[in-house]
Structure 1
């Protein structure tokens, strides 16, 4: 029996939703929902997306990183949560904890380029990128719906769904470009946060593969400077994709 079989819900931990238990399906959002919107620029409204992404950031900083379930997954996939950072840990969306005294005090200064107080004297919310966490969940096979919801909250599909789809496609591209060792090297973050294991992309749908193939063909055309007036038509791209597959 593998280690993952000790987790419920098809080998992955379940996470409670805000306001009640979460009982979502086990499939990921790859190739569906809000993630598809980023494929076509005309369908993706960055001003509509950004508040949802900020909501995911706040949920991750204020709630998720302090949950034991999220901490367990982060430990397994070997990535530090913001409150665990050695330098300038981020406890919540308002920023680092203030300077204190005592045996358990946080004695590091605020970041040099940290939050600047607003007119009311309160610092604006800090900015913490969610991309490293999405990437690590994708490559370790933990980008299940329940896990994504547990990390990023109710707005995860709209807020981080587009990023999630892009990172799933990037993982496909990395696997096609280089071997296992180089793929792992690209995803290692530091000696202390190296990737403990890689899993093939999970819950892949045919539409997701076909979308990645189309984008890969466009990249091959870019390598040959076949862009702008030299860009191949769709039929040429299909032939190139079949030749390279």
Structure 2
């Protein structure tokens, strides 16, 4: 399937880019190699999203996380505070670095293969395939505990964090807003608990929220309310109607 197909059919993220301000935490602030701050961007400005430009940056964040960050004392301290195991702590198959063996059922953030493989895992060139570890559980835990500040994100995911995990970070911040709006505290915590030994130790309201982020979330929430009422496709209301409906249903 060609790259042009993906660029044509998935042209946008649907989410504007937001920053979180740094300050505090065991990590120093660092600017992203992908560019400057996008803070204050209008909620109506939807940037183009090319998955083939994003994916190498995401892989860079994965390698940094596995090869460097998880072995850093600061990252280990944050992980202990928010009660989440790092890949090298997974049992019985720890992932020590990005070239380590691919885990099968070693942890909640591991990629579990749906079918057994025999022999070493290799790529199309016959080279050993790198370990694949999802970064989403770690981003989610940082968001809900208020630890997703710029310095911490850089400490976990490296210089390319804005380009590599920034889009995921934005979505998870929005998901947290949606979860809080949907159900009560106990159910929100239950949804974010990963296992009995990796339960969420505390929840904090979303930190460093910008007005554009709230307005973008409101617009998307209105679209979800329309979906609940089957107001999609030819029945989809316009943006003004969605905003009025969201106000009515949540007042």
Q: TM-score range by the shorter chain?
A: 0.7 to 0.9
CA distance in structure 2 between the partners assigned to 1:36 and 1:75 by the alignment: 36
8 Å CA contact 1:82–1:89 kept in 2: the answer is: yes
* Residues 229/156 of structure 1: CA separation in 2 closer, same or farther (3 Å cut): same
The answer to whether the 8 Å contact 1:36/1:162 transfers is no
How many residues were matched structurally?
209
- 1:152-191 matches, cutoff 5 A: 152-191=157-196
Q: Point out where structure 1 has 5 or more consecutive residues left out of the alignment.
A: 1-8, 15-21, 26-30, 98-110
Contact conserved, 1:95 with 1:125, CA < 8 A, in 2? yes
TM-score (norm 2): 0.77
Contact in 1 for aligned 2:189/2:203 (Cα 8 Å): yes
Q: Distance in 1 between matches of 2:159 and 2:101?
A: 25
More helix by proportion, 1 or 2? 1
RMSD across aligned positions (CA)? 2.5
Q: How does 1:222-241 map to 2 (within 5 A)?
A: 222-241=227-246
TM superposition score normalised by structure 1: 0.79
Structure 2 unmatched ranges of 5 or more: 1-21, 32-36, 103-112
Cα deviation, residue 23, structure 1: 3.4
2:29 to 14, 17, 23: 23
> 1:122 Cα shift?
3.6
Match of 2:17 in 1: none
CA separation of 1:176/1:67 partners in 2, compared to 1, >3 Å: closer, same or farther? Answer: same
Per-residue CA deviations over 1:124-146 (Å, capped at 9, x if unaligned) read 11110000000000000000000
Q: CA deviation at 1:162?
A: 0.2
